[in-house]
Structure 1
Amino acid sequence: MVFSYPTLNKVSIIKEIGSVDFSLSVTAASGVAYNNEDNTIAISSCWGDLGNKITIIDLTKRKVEKTISPGGQIVGIVATNKTLLYQLYYKAIQFMDLTDASTRDITIENMNTSIKLTVSRHKLYYSSLGYHTVVCCDLDGTKQWSFKDENILKSPSGISADNNGNVYVVGYGMNNVVVISHDGQNVRNSYH
């Protein structure tokens, strides 16, 4: 497990037994994404002048491998294969190929809020905090489905998807977890 501490400017990697394996200094550490392709983690930092960078940590060597400045405030971040995906706040979701640092943007609706991201089976899922929505799209940004029901999900924050495409979303505004089926048609609500 990895814990980020934005106010302490620190990231801690925790062993399975619960003790700290090691910690590193990362300014304004926020989002965490694990890349199993090369056993690294990408840490987003997004606090004004202190952040706006991505720090890549090599877990085998236990050190910072490199720091990337993508040119804006970074909110959500996810890693898949040799690609990072992150939200440049108020701009776009950016894909970065880690082999050559090339980037491409996809523009989605409602960019002016915090967006959390996850990827599963060649689909991008994101939660839009201020608009109370969860969206599924392909990796080019073409929307497949959208879910919004403020009686079930308010202020969606954390998001994850399983191998079947079921999406798990933390409802910050209702202190719940909502499970949305792979096609966006069925929803199950788990309170507290």
Structure 2
Amino acid sequence: MIIDLTTRKVKRVVKLPKTPFGITFDGESLICCCSGKDIQMISCTDFSCTNIPKTLMSQYSYIAIQGDKIVCTVPDDSKVSCLDNGKLVWEFKNESVLKKPGGITIDDKGNVFVVGMDSKNSLMISPDGKQYKQIQTKEYGLTEPSTIYFDKIRKQLLITNINSFAHLYDVSFY
């Protein structure tokens, strides 16, 4: 369902092959993950739906986009994948620091931020997927982290817990 937030009215109902989970916006299209299906792109001009071939998503996958780069979580395999036009660019998998990745976001420099739902933390992964830094843990209140969002204008990171408080951080590593 696409809702006009100004009028609070349903603008359009878009039929998808399965229930969507992670969703993002690239300025022209909504891009979403549907369990067991390829990534779906919904045009915001005519609401047509197309898929990105060879991008099969698992259940509860989250997604973020910057330019041609799409990053998505694969919770069942505890990994993060980076795709460019459907082709795998890099993959991050290190279960000693990231278990059951959930929400994911990208900053304006291409750094990827992701929460570990079972590892109860958040990581920053370098744009090439080769380096990472743990930035928050359960000791700082991440009891059940689920989603994350980077505000590129304010340089702030918002992390939500499933059943408790959200946390807002000023990011100053620039």
TM-score, normalised by the number of residues in structure 2:
0.73
Pairing 1:165–2:165 present = no
1:108 CA displacement = 4.3
Q: Which runs of 5+ in 2 are unaligned?
A: 139-174
Which residue of the other structure, out of 20, 43, 46, is the alignment partner of 1:97? 43
Q: Which runs of 5+ in 1 are unaligned?
A: 1-54
Q: How many residues align?
A: 137
TM-score, normalised by the number of residues in structure 1:
0.66
For residues 102-141 of structure 1, the aligned pairs below 5 Å read 102-108=48-54, 111-138=57-84, 140-141=85-86
- Cα pair 1:92 1:111 within 8 Å, conserved: yes
- Cα pair 1:91 1:107 within 8 Å, conserved: no
Mapped partners of 2:40, 2:52: distance in 1:
6
- Cα pair 2:73 2:79 within 8 Å, conserved: yes
- Cα pair 2:114 2:122 within 8 Å, conserved: yes
Q: Which residue number in structure 1 is paired with residue 10 of structure 2?
A: 64
1:137-192 CA-to-partner distances (Å, cap 9, x unmatched) read 11x21111110000010000010110111011000011100110111111001223
Mapped partners of 1:108, 1:151: distance in 2:
28
**Amino acid in the other structure paired with 2:2:** I
Residue 13 of structure 2 aligns to a residue in which SS? Answer: strand
Q: Identity over the aligned pairs, expressed in percent?
A: 33
Mapped partners of 2:23, 2:54: distance in 1:
15
Q: Which one has a larger percent strand, Structure 1 or Structure 2?
A: 1
Mapped partners of 1:170, 1:148: distance in 2:
13
1:71 CA displacement = 2.7
